[in-house]
């Protein structure tokens, strides 16, 4: 296993993690921005007001995208398992 191969596997792993987490992070960011905008307009400064909508929206996004996320993880894992013989050389 050479240095180039290890870097390639790490790059694919990081790319996979970013691709899987991006929808949930974007939804959490968008909901947080909307709630913050609402708080600024109405001058409600409640700390816990942002927590519940973010958690609910992120959990819904994970539930909606879980088949896609699982298929991406299975593809990545299958690729890793199929390259194990190349790692031993």
DSSP per residue over 9-77, as a string?
HHHHHHHHHHHHHHHHHHHHHHHHHHHHHHHHHHT---GGGTHHHHHHHHHHHHHHHHHHHHHHHHHHH
Where do the domains of the chain lie? 3-88
pTM above 0.85, yes or no: no
pLDDT band at 76 (very low <50, low <70, confident <90, very high): very high
Q: How many CB atoms lie within 10 A of CB 27?
A: 19
**pLDDT, tens digit (0-9, with 9 covering 90-100), for 15-74:** 999 999 999 999 999 999 999 899 889 888 877 788 899 999 999 999 999 999 999 999
On whether the CB atoms of residues 61 and 24 are closer than 8 A, the answer is yes
72: left (phi over 0), alpha (psi -120 to 50) or beta: alpha
């Amino acid at each position: 296993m050479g240095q180039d191969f290890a870097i390639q596997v790490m790059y694919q792993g990081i790319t996979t993690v970013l691709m899987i987490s991006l929808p949930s992070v974007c939804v959490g960011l968008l909901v947080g921005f909307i709630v913050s905008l609402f708080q600024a307009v109405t001058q409600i400064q409640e700390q816990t007001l942002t927590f519940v909508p973010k958690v609910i929206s992120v959990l819904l996004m994970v539930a909606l995208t879980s088949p896609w996320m699982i298929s991406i993880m299975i593809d990545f894992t299958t690729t890793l398992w199929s390259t194990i013989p190349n790692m031993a050389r």
